[in-house]
Chain A
Amino acid sequence: MEATITITVDGRQRTVAVDTRTTLLDALRDRLAVTAPKKGCDHGQCGSCTVLLDGRRVLSCLALAVAHDGAEVVTAAGLDNDRLRETFLDNDAFQCGYCTPGQLCSAAGMLDELKAGWPSAVTDGEPTLSASEIRERMAGNLCRCGAYVGIVAAIQEAGR
Chain B
Amino acid sequence: MIPFDYRRAENPAGAVATVAGAPGAVYLAGGTNLVDHLKLDVARPDLVVDVTGLPFDRVEPRADGGLRVGATVRNSDLAAHPVVRERYPVLSQALLAGASGQLRNMATTGGNLLQRTRCPYFQDVTTACNKRDPGSGCSAIEGYHRYHAILGASPDCVAVHPSDMAVALVALDATVRVLGRHGERDIPVDALHRLPGDRPDRDTILEHGDLITAVDLPAPLSVRSAYRKVRERSSFAFALVSVAAVADLRDGRVQDCRIALGGVAHKPWRAHAAEDVLRAGEPSEQLFTRAADAELAGAKPLPDNGFKVAMARGALVATLRGLTTEGTA
* Chain A residues engaging chain B, CB cutoff 8 angstroms: 1, 3, 19-21, 23, 42-44, 47, 50, 56-59, 61-64, 66-67, 106, 109-110, 113, 116-121, 123, 135-141
> What residues of chain A lie closer than 8 Å to B32, measured between beta carbons?
44, 59, 62
**In the assembly, what is the distance between CA of A59 and CA of B31, in Å?**
10
The residue that B106 contacts in the complex, of A1, A19, A58, with Cβ under 8 A, is: A58
A113 touching B39 in the complex, CB below 8 Å, given contacts A1-B5, A118-B79: no
> What residues of chain B lie closer than 8 Å to A3, measured between beta carbons?
6
Cβ-defined contact, B6 with A106, below 8 A: no
Cβ-defined contact, B105 with A58, below 8 A: yes
Cβ-defined contact, B103 with A140, below 8 A: yes
How many A-B residue pairs have C-beta atoms within 8 angstroms? Tell me.
106
Cβ-defined contact, B101 with A110, below 8 A: yes
Cβ-defined contact, B236 with A139, below 8 A: yes
What count of chain B residues pass the 8 Å CB interface test?
37
> What residues of chain A lie closer than 8 Å to B79, measured between beta carbons?
118-119
* Majority DSSP secondary structure for residues of B touching A: mixed
**In the assembly, what is the distance between CA of A118 and CA of B84, in Å?**
12
The residue that B76 contacts in the complex, of A1, A118, A138, with Cβ under 8 A, is: A118
**In the assembly, what is the distance between CA of A61 and CA of B234, in Å?**
24
A67 touching B3 in the complex, CB below 8 Å, given contacts A21-B38, A139-B236: no
**In the assembly, what is the distance between CA of A140 and CA of B30, in Å?**
17
> What residues of chain B lie closer than 8 Å to A135, measured between beta carbons?
234-235
Cβ-defined contact, B236 with A64, below 8 A: no
B52 within 8 A of A: yes
Closest CB-CB distance, B126 to chain A, in whole Å?
Answer: 16
Closest CB-CB distance, A2 to chain B, in whole Å?
Answer: 10
